[in-house]
Chain A
Amino acid sequence: MPGLHAPPSPTRRAILHALAGLVPLLANARAWPGAMELRIVTSASNDATAQIVAALSRRFPNAQASEDVRAFASRGGQAIYLAIGPAALQAALGTELSGPVVSAFVSSEAYQRLTAAAPAQRGRALTGVFAEAAPAAQMQLIRRLYRRKVVVGVLLSPSTKHLKPLIERAASEAELTAACVVVEPGTNPVRALSALTSASVLLAVPDPELYNAEVARAILESTYRRRQGVIGFSKAMVSAGTLGAAYASIDDVVAQLGDIVDALMAGRQVDAQYPQYWRVAINESVARSLDVIVDASARSLGNFHE
């Protein structure tokens, strides 16, 4: 029967993984505190990785960094593995590791995709800080920029449609209205924008199926023709032409990683979460073009980690 061979859904798989991970966590809970090393797993070195490792080294002077996760695994001993970036996370998930894996600088979409695709491993604890700011932070920025109740359009793909309740709740809390449209695979995301003509602003969430270099310019052009601002998820997007973005800097994420590592060492379980610390970037030129008045309160919005 075909139904018996159908793969489990990502959500179901994630739940199974979480349940499987609980057993070793509970078993080893008392053994971690104070005796665990912090091992930083990186992928191929580049400028971003170097800056992140430097920031982590300042925060965790005894931490060890390596691109070779198998070498870390062969050392044995209890350790917390900080996986920096999607490639490092994927490598960590593909290796039998003796301690919890903390994902950092990986978007929520990539985190969900990679963890869902990873082979099941008994007793592995998995947590992390997503790379993009929380939808609540983005909604706060939108509210501060538009200063009235506007409709926030959101394009979601099957990979990110699970964010819809979170986004709608965040919009509601910020006294905004969210209009989410799920774009089916194979559908042109630029054309899908026509379903969001009532929205004053488009909130972009990390999703390579919807937002990538090939369509970014067309999306920006299309929204600009409709006088819609775009709120991105990175500072680079603001430079590329979005109205603004709430984002977490390296130091913001590292500070939060410190809290998570401390919690893990204390034997507490920590769920993957959005950045606690964040800040905003605004493209003043785009704001002027869209007649959006940016005041100091919008510019200084965020929860900085100095």
Chain B
Amino acid sequence: MTRRFDRPWGLRGLLVAAAAVPTLVVLVVVVAAHVGSDARIRAALEERATLVASALAEASEYGLISGNPAALDRSARDLLDEDHAIASIDILDAGKKSFVALTAPVPRSGLVTVERPVRSNVPDIDFFDRPTPHVSLPDDVQPTFRLGPVVGYARVTMSAEPMVKAQRERLALQAGVILGAGALGMLAVWLLAHRIRASLAAAEDAMRSMLAGRFDVHEGPAPLGELKPLRDSLLALSDSLAAKAHARPGDADIAATGDTMSPQAVRIAADNPLTRGTRARHERVARRIVGRLDAALVAVRLAACHVARLAETAETDAAKERANETALRILAIADHLVSAGPQLMEPMREHIVDERGLDAALEELRLACAITHPGCAFTLQKDAGFECADRAQAVAIHRAVQDAMTHVVAFSDATEAVVRLATQPGSRAVRVVISDNGEGEESNVSSLRLARIRETLSALGGKLDVRRSAVSGTTLILTLPASTAA
């Protein structure tokens, strides 16, 4: 028994109690206000009886003077009918003999009796009945009235019974209304608490699932306004963790770094903002280094091409031959180095695209970018009907998008980047639009990266369209013809 009361109160219990307390306080105050009201009722009754007796005395003057009890009887009976608190009415003449006497049909208790004299109200004028000269003065004005002799008495007896009854009925009504309102309030609070509790329980379950390594979190019941961000955050966290949990080492990373985050690392990064920020900066620097090395290799390759072209214009055949051989060696080394990275990455890329599809691969890429560069919001959009069944095209698109996103992560100051996948209605050509809101500055690195993208697309009969604007940033439009494999 004691244990039951020692238990901490639940959310529902606390909220219902909070709603019940004001109701109980109001009820207690209302009831307390009615306690000891008998004296007040008696005082009010006396006041009312005095008022009725005074009014009756005022109205009885004519009846008493004229000796006409019928008129008085009617007035008194009307009063008796109208006011149920009146137990009896007695009108007495100047000698206190009964003139009119009426009693309520139902006997009453708690009686209060008030008697008031009936005085005639007489005009203060000369009716030629005074010893002074009988005369109409020129300045006769409106006469004043004065109280004349007592011509009778009005006696009213009132009962507190109807007032007490009415007061009790009022109290019952008030208590009923208060309790009803309180019950409604408590019911509403109970329902509210139920919903809050369900939302919190769902959040708790979701967190427990994630801690256990299960990231398939369900949305659960629609939470209340204030709890919706909590649910959204949990869903986003679960999605992110799920993506990382499904990624394999060296597969879900950004190609330029070749790095990846294990589920445990992702969890740590997600839980610790400081760690997450440091890691993002490191990844950004690493990508820049890799990007510049990549660019350098491409530059060496281009230079070799240039030497080869110069060799072609040499004056002597021997010189031409030597320059050409040298250039070809540089070119071969550069080509080997340039293709070494992608060649290493390409099987992994093909594996991701094959196994999970282009959509999932791009989503994974987006999440990796978002974690690496938290200052930019990466969005992946796919139009209804988008389809890319050609494996080569899918790999090419993945590569191009990765190139573009890597550049954004490593060099761009953009805060928003969007990748949109679409299929052109008529030609069924694949169209990928990659846009960001960076300054759109052209550099050697970006040019080389674009050249590589263009080269990749050209191999599949596609093309690249680049639009730059200081206001709206950079937009890359990748177009690939309809796949014959589809």
Contacts and interface: CB of A to CB of B under 8 A. Distances in A.
B436 interface: no
A34 B138 CA distance: 33
Interface residues of B, number: 33
Contacts of A88: 133
A235 B138 CA distance: 8
Interface stretch (B59-67, B336-344, B465-473): B59-67
A245 to B, nearest CB: 8
Contacts of A85: 131-134
A43 B131 contact: yes
Contacts of A212: 127, 129
B65 A236 contact: no
Interface in A188-232: 188, 190-191, 206, 208, 211-218, 221-222
Interface string B364-387: 000000000000000000000000
A159 to B, nearest CB: 11
Interface in B124-164: 124-138, 140-143, 145, 148-149, 151
Contact of A213 (B68, B136, B148): B148
Contact of A206 (B62, B122, B127): B127
B456 interface: no
A131 B135 contact: yes
B66 A240 contact: no
B54 interface: no
Interface residues of A, number: 52
A237 interface: yes
A250 B125 CA distance: 17
B65 A188 contact: yes
B121 interface: yes
B120 A217 contact: yes
Contacts of B151: 214
A249 interface: yes
B134 A86 contact: yes
A239 B140 CA distance: 8
Contact of A233 (B61, B124, B128): B128
Chain B, interface SS category: loop
Contacts of B148: 213-214
B78 to A, nearest CB: 17
Contact of B134 (A110, A218, A239): A110
A47 interface: yes
A87 interface: yes
Contacts of B65: 188, 190, 214-215, 217-218
Contacts of B133: 43, 48-49, 52, 84-86, 88, 104-106, 131
A234 B136 contact: yes
Contacts of A44: 132
Given A105-B134, A105-B135, A191-B68, A234 B126 contact: yes
A222 B128 contact: no
A132 B132 contact: no
Contacts of A213: 122-125, 127, 129, 148
A156 B120 CA distance: 23
A250 B149 CA distance: 32
Nearest to B125: A236
Given A191-B67, A239-B140, A239-B141, A214 B120 contact: yes
Interface of A: 43-44, 46-49, 51-52, 84-88, 90, 104-107, 109-110, 131-132, 188, 190-191, 206, 208, 211-218, 221-222, 233-237, 239-241, 245, 247-250, 253, 281
Interface of B: 61-62, 65-68, 120-138, 140-143, 145, 148-149, 151
Given A43-B133, A239-B125, A239-B143, 8 more contacts: A43-B131, A85-B132, A105-B135, A208-B128, A217-B123, A217-B145, A234-B126, A234-B134
8 contacts: A105-B133, A106-B134, A110-B134, A191-B68, A214-B65, A217-B65, A240-B125, A249-B136
